[in-house]
Amino acid sequence: MVSTTSQTIVISGYYGFKNSGDEAVLKSILTALEEQGRQAGVKVEPIVLSIDPEWTSSVYGVRAVHRMKLGEVRQALKESDGLISGGGSLLQDVTSAKTIPYYLAILKLAQWMRKPTFIYAQGIGPVNRKLFHPLIKSVFKKCAYISVRDEQSAELLHSMGLDPKKVQVVPDPVMGLPLPENDRSHTAADDDLPRIGISVRFWNKERRELDSIAQGLKQLAERRNVHLRFLPFHLPADEEASRYIMDKIQEVESSGSKVSICQDALHPQEMLREVSQCQAVIGMRLHSLIYAASRQVPLLGISYDPKIDHFLHRIDSKPVGTTEQLSGGAIATELEKLLEHGDDWRTAHEDSIARLKREAQLPAEHIIDYLRKG
C-alpha cells in the first residue's frame, strides 16, 4: 500500500550504548513500525534518543539526538506526533536509582507537550523503592497505550493501581527481529564441529557461575569435539567475562575442539546471524536466549534475574541453573542432549515460539492504528 500520511515518532530507550540486546530492541521496533506502517498507509519518521546519536544514525539510517541534551530532546518532541518509551528493562531501580526518574521524565515531558505516549513491550521492575510506584502510576495513566513483555510486569503495574484492562502483555519485540536481508550462510572450515553459542556476563564477585560454566564446557569437550563460540552481547564487559572462561578451557583445543569469540557483530542482526549458525546456545543474557528461540536454536538459560525465568516459562522451558546454584555436570549433560536431540527440542517448542513471533507485532500495530486514526 502506498503511504498516505507521515508520522514522526520519538523513540526513547537504552540506545547507543552498544549493548546488543538493547540495540536489537531498537532494530525490532523500527522494523515493526515500518512493516505495520506500510500495511496501514503510514510512513513513520523515527527520531531516536541515543547516548551516541552519530553512531545510531549511521547504523540504523534514522535521525537521532542526544538523550541527555534537554534542548535536543525538547525539539525532537516538539516536532513529533508521539513518543514511544520502548523495550528492555527501562523502569527498574536495581542498576541505578536514576534510571526510573530519567525515563519517566522523558514521558512526562512529552505529555506536558500534549503528545501521545506509548509504552512498548517493556519489562517493569524490580522497583524496590516504593516512592517510585505513584510516579509510575501517574505517568502511565496518561499513556495512550501500554504493553509489557511478561505477566509479572503487568501484575506489578496492577499492584501500583493501574487498570489491568489498560495493560497488554506481549512478547519481547526482539522475537520479531529478522535476519539481514542480504544474509548469506557462510561455510566455515569447522562446519563439521557442532557449534555451541555461549553468552555470559559478570554477576557474582566470586565468579562461581563462570567457573561452573567453564567446568561444564570442559566436560562436554571431553565427551565430544565441539566449537565453543563466545558471543559477547554487552561490550566490553561480556568480552572480559568470555575471556575469563576461555582462559580456563583453552586445553580443550588440544583434543580436537575449538574455542573462538565473536568480535565484529556490532549490529544486532549480525549477532542474530551468529546465533542462527549454532546448534545450541547457553546464555545468561536474555536476548541471547530470545535470539536463539526466534531462530529455533535449542537453548539453555542460566537465571540471574527473574526476566530469564519469565521468558523461559513462555517457551515452556526452565533454566539449567541459577548464578547461585549451577552445576557444571548439569550444563554438560543438558548441552549434550540438545546436540543429540535438537529436532525434538524444536518440535516441542515450535508452537510457543511461533505464537510469540506473531504477537511481537502487536504493539506496533496498535501504535500505527492510533496514529492513523488521530
Would you kindly state where each structural domain of the chain is located, as residue ranges? 5-170, 195-356
pLDDT in tens, 239-265: 999 999 999 999 999 999 999 999 888
Query: How far apart are alpha carbons 185 and 262 in whole angstroms?
Result: 16
2 has pLDDT over 80: no
| Percent of the chain scoring above 70 in pLDDT | 97
Q: What is the DSSP letter of 49?
A: E
Are 197 and 261 in contact by the 8 Å Cβ rule? The answer is no
pLDDT in tens, 329-354: 999 999 999 999 999 999 999 999 99
Are 136 and 157 in contact by the 8 Å Cβ rule? The answer is yes
pLDDT at residue 88, as a whole number: 85
Query: How far apart are alpha carbons 147 and 124 in whole angstroms?
Result: 10
Using omega within 30 degrees of 0 as the cis cutoff, is the peptide bond preceding 363 cis?
A: no
pLDDT at residue 191, as a whole number: 63
Confidence of residue 186 (pLDDT cuts 50, 70, 90): very low
Supply 118's cell numbers. Answer: 506509548
pLDDT in tens, 152-177: 999 999 999 999 999 999 999 999 89
Burial 46-57 (b: 16+ CB within 10 A, else e): bbbbbebbebbb
The whole-number average pLDDT for the span 363-370 is 97
pTM: 0.88
Q: Which CATH superfamily is domain 5-170 in?
A: Glycogen Phosphorylase B; (3.40.50.2000)
pLDDT in tens, 196-224: 999 999 999 999 999 999 999 999 999 99
Cα–Cα distances (Å) from 162 to 1, 82, 104, 134, 298, in that order, read: 37, 21, 16, 10, 37
189 has pLDDT over 50: no
Q: Please name which of 177, 209, 334, 196 lies closest in space to residue 284, comparing C-alpha atoms.
A: 209
The whole-number average pLDDT for the span 184-202 is 76
At position 107, the amino acid (one-letter code) is L
Do the domains spanning 5-170 and 195-356 agree at the CATH topology level?
A: yes
**Helix (H) / strand (E) containing 86:** strand 82-88
What is the CATH number assigned to the segment(s) 195-356? 3.40.50.2000
